[in-house]
Amino acid sequence: MAALIDVPAFRDSIPSGIIAVADRLTATGAVGELASVGGGAQAEVTDDGAVFLAWVGVVDRAFTGECDCDGPADDDGFCAHAVAVALASFDADVRFAAEADPYAEEPDHVVYERAVRSLDPGRLAALVVDHATRDRLFAARLLSAAGLLEHRSAVEVYEAVLQEVAAVTTGSRWEIADVEDAGRRLITETEILCAGPAGTEALELVEEAIEIWDGLAGHLVDAWDVRRLDPEDVTDALAEARRDLLDR
């Protein structure tokens, strides 16, 4: 069942200062593409160079707005960004559910984005640093994004990993679990290598990894009844990494 919104009454209920800013935002195209979320409407709103995420819908029988900004809002949560989304929704003839939930269908990345925007820079930096110290792939992506990744070091680590993986079945004391661990390690280390710049050296190393794994995968194929890792999972990951390096 759809809710009917009295648009003139809604405009009259909003403080004049907020409605003036909202009118400016809608008139200048600051409201992004509308999305149906939880029975309401959601969009990004660009205001003075900053991007905010605003949602509007009917909650507990009241037309309500939510936004991740810190600006002034009325009693129903309508800041200028939420009002702008509401006005854009009216113009687009969006149908609002009689009872909506802004978080019912919210994708994970939207939840994380909302959380990031709510944190002060110092707290966010502390969380990022803490995660980087415990996750090498995240650390590599962080340093790469900042232009601080030491590619030579990543290459040397990968070369050492290839030597160790290639020797995993040397001798007579290895087990299928050793091959599985080697495959998982190849996936992880290849992701870390590819977090850095693409180039001939990285491409050649990944191609070498593919050859090494081709020689090991047969052991898992033969051990189909006891293995815990599908050899194609590693094959596909390495092939995807190679394609990524070629495309960049």
pLDDT tens digits along 54-113: 999 999 889 999 998 888 877 777 999 999 999 999 999 999 998 888 776 556 777 787
> Nearest Cα to 190, choosing from 152, 140, 231, 229?
140
Are 15 and 60 within one domain?
Answer: yes
Instruction: Tell which wins on pLDDT, 35 or 107.
Output: 35
Are 14 and 110 within one domain?
Answer: yes
For residue 187, the domain's CATH number is: 1.20.58
Are 6 and 107 within one domain?
Answer: yes
Q: Quote the pLDDT of residue 107.
A: 65
Q: Quote the pLDDT of residue 71.
A: 80
Q: Quote the pLDDT of residue 106.
A: 59
Domain encompassing residue 112: 2-118
| Rounded distance between C-alpha atoms, residue 76 and residue 58, angstroms | 10
> Nearest Cα to 132, choosing from 117, 121, 144?
144
Domain assignment of residue 137, yes or no: no
Chain centroid, CA 112 distance in Å:
8
Q: Quote the pLDDT of residue 116.
A: 85
| Rounded distance between C-alpha atoms, residue 225 and residue 127, angstroms | 42
What share of the chain in percent tops pLDDT 70?
A: 97
Instruction: Tell which wins on pLDDT, 112 or 53.
Output: 53
Domain assignment of residue 124, yes or no: no
What integer best gives the mean pLDDT of the chain?
Answer: 91
Are 179 and 243 within one domain?
Answer: yes
The residue with tokens 């590619």 is: 151
Are 71 and 12 within one domain?
Answer: yes
Number of domains making up the chain: 2
The residue with tokens 């905010």 is: 52
| Rounded distance between C-alpha atoms, residue 151 and residue 203, angstroms | 13
Are 173 and 99 within one domain?
Answer: no
Of 118, 140, 166, the residue at which a domain comes to its end is: 118
Which tokens in the block code for residue 174?
């290895």
Are 23 and 74 within one domain?
Answer: yes
Where does residue 110 rank: exposed (0-12), middle (13-18), buried (19+ CB within 10 A)?
Answer: middle
Are 38 and 79 within one domain?
Answer: yes
The residue with tokens 């810190």 is: 70
Of 95, 118, 141, the residue at which a domain comes to its end is: 118
The DSSP secondary-structure symbol of 57 reads: E
Domain assignment of residue 22, yes or no: yes
Q: Quote the pLDDT of residue 102.
A: 74
Q: Which residues contact 63 (CB under 8 A, 6 or more apart)?
A: 3, 5, 10, 56, 57, 76, 86, 96
- Per-residue HEC secondary structure of 73-94 comes to CCCCCCCHHHHHHHHHHHHCCC
100, 57 contact by CB (below 8 A): yes
Q: Quote the pLDDT of residue 204.
A: 96
Least reliable range by pLDDT among 37-41, 43-47, 221-225? 37-41
pLDDT tens per residue, range 139-195: 999 998 898 988 788 899 999 999 999 999 998 899 999 999 999 999 999 999 999
Are 104 and 210 within one domain?
Answer: no
Are 158 and 234 within one domain?
Answer: yes
CA separation, residue 187 to residues 14, 28, 97, 147 (Å): 55, 47, 45, 23
What share of the chain in percent tops pLDDT 90?
A: 70
